[in-house]
Amino acid sequence: MENNSTMSCGGGDLPTVMVTNDDGIDAPGLRALVRVLVSSNRFHVLVCAPDSEKSAVSHCITWRNALSAKPVEISGAVAFAVSGTPADCTSLGISKALFPSIPDLVISGINMGSNCGYHIIYSGTVAGAREAFFNEVPSVSMSYDWVEGRSNVNDFTLAAEASLPIICAILAEIKKKTYPQNCFLNVDIPTDVVNHKGYWLTKQGKSIVKMGWKQVTSDAEGGKILSTMTMETNSSSYSESDSSSAKHEHLLFKREVKGSQLEDGDTDYCSLQEGYITVSPLGALSPADTDSQSYFKQWLPGYPQRSGWLFHRSECQTSRSRDIVSQLSSFPTHGMTRQVQFYFCQPLERLRDSASTTCIVGTNLRFFAESET
């Protein structure tokens, strides 16, 4: 995507930075970041953020309904509250439908709670940056490792100030056209931001908070899980009068924190806990590790590298499974020995043959014909 704005960091025409998040446009993390950006006098600041909290919605997008965008007064910035997800907000904000030009940089955050390990998949904050990456707009997601009882809202301002050097560094590389386009950055800021140990390049790990489910009789029962994926410590005790109970034929379940899976090593979560501001380059692909690829090359029936095998895949429909067996017994093998495996999903309508191939009708039943020379 071509960027039409001109920019610099520290002089000349100001770069345009668009801010979004998943905690909502009124969240203290976003407001602190915008205040710091505006007060630095280095940026032209746009805000396009959800009108309410959208934590843990991942990369959900609005497909069928129109989005509303309501102007919001934020000093020094042009801001809109949008009735969509973080990915929606980024998509709208960089589209030139809402703002006249494409921003030089999209910043998603500052989130209340870290986004490390597998939580990156759940995160609406990271999705806000990923959506910009999909559209070839440089982006960074930012999260503060909020800990209940230790953190306070002033820490968001400190986190924003600690992030300014990397924001300017990114924009400087963008101006020189040397910033890589094959990734976006995920930045996590430690709880004790005043005493952070500096920036540390790291990689996504496998840490995750383990969740379970608990049956409840009312939405008010069982406490509240915060956007930091921890239980609210000051939840009021449950009373049947707090919320109407479900109808008798309905069952209610609420998530509950069961524990956590942590890890050692040079990963995002470990480095964050050591006091570093972690910087993790991310992409959007999800390939399995090399061992898994190797395993499935051997496991997959008819994989092309298996010498002497011919692999056919088709999909068909019929109301009677024995008709399929009968008709597929004449499946063309061109002189090869036939070995056929059938995988039935559900009976449907019909199947018909031609001189050289089996005609596909529908999609609900699959068969694999494997022929060995």
Same domain, yes or no: 172 and 106: yes
Same domain, yes or no: 268 and 303: no
**Average pLDDT of 93-100?**
98
Report yes or no on 9 lying in a domain. no
SS (H, E, C) 6-24: CCCCCCCCCCEEEEECCCC
Q: Is residue 242 scored above 90 in pLDDT?
A: no
Give the SS3 label for residue 210.
strand
Please tell me the predicted confidence (pLDDT) of residue 214: 86
Query: Greater confidence, 358 or 158?
Result: 158
Same domain, yes or no: 249 and 125: no
Lowest mean pLDDT among 76-80, 198-202, 243-247, 354-358: 354-358
Please tell me the predicted confidence (pLDDT) of residue 162: 97
Please tell me the predicted confidence (pLDDT) of residue 118: 86
Same domain, yes or no: 139 and 230: no
Report yes or no on 191 lying in a domain. yes
Please tell me the predicted confidence (pLDDT) of residue 314: 45
Report yes or no on 110 lying in a domain. yes
Query: Greater confidence, 86 or 219?
Result: 86
Burial of 331 (0-12, 13-18, 19+ CB in 10 A): middle
Residues 6+ apart with CB under 8 A from 303: 297, 309, 311
Report yes or no on 10 lying in a domain. no
**Average pLDDT of 14-30?**
97
Q: Is residue 348 scored above 60 in pLDDT?
A: no
Domain containing residue 175: CATH number: 3.40.1210.10
What's the pTM value of the predicted model, to 2 decimals? 0.73
pLDDT digits (tens, 9 = 90+) for 119-149: 899 899 999 999 999 999 999 999 999 999 9
Report yes or no on 257 lying in a domain. yes
Q: Is residue 21 scored above 90 in pLDDT?
A: yes
Same domain, yes or no: 255 and 274: no
Residue 370 banded pLDDT, cuts 50, 70, 90: very low
Same domain, yes or no: 104 and 175: yes
Please tell me the predicted confidence (pLDDT) of residue 358: 41
Report yes or no on 22 lying in a domain. yes
Please tell me the predicted confidence (pLDDT) of residue 9: 55
pLDDT digits (tens, 9 = 90+) for 292-346: 888 888 888 766 554 443 334 444 444 444 555 455 455 454 444 444 444 444 4
Q: What domain range is 241 assigned to?
A: 208-261
Backbone angles phi, psi at 202, to 5 degrees: -140, -170
Same domain, yes or no: 199 and 222: no
Same domain, yes or no: 229 and 179: no
Tell me how many domains the chain contains.
3
Please tell me the predicted confidence (pLDDT) of residue 217: 86
Residue 250 banded pLDDT, cuts 50, 70, 90: confident
Same domain, yes or no: 232 and 256: yes
Same domain, yes or no: 166 and 184: yes
Q: What's 195's DSSP letter?
A: G
Report yes or no on 359 lying in a domain. yes
Same domain, yes or no: 37 and 169: yes
State whether the Cα torsion 341-346-351-357 is positive or negative: negative
Same domain, yes or no: 39 and 137: yes
pLDDT digits (tens, 9 = 90+) for 167-220: 999 999 999 999 999 999 999 999 999 999 999 999 887 867 777 888 988 877
> Which range, 29-33, 234-238, 332-336, is most confident?
29-33
Kindly state the percentage of the chain with pLDDT values over 90.
53
Residues 6+ apart with CB under 8 A from 81: 25, 49, 50, 51, 69, 70, 72
Report yes or no on 306 lying in a domain. yes
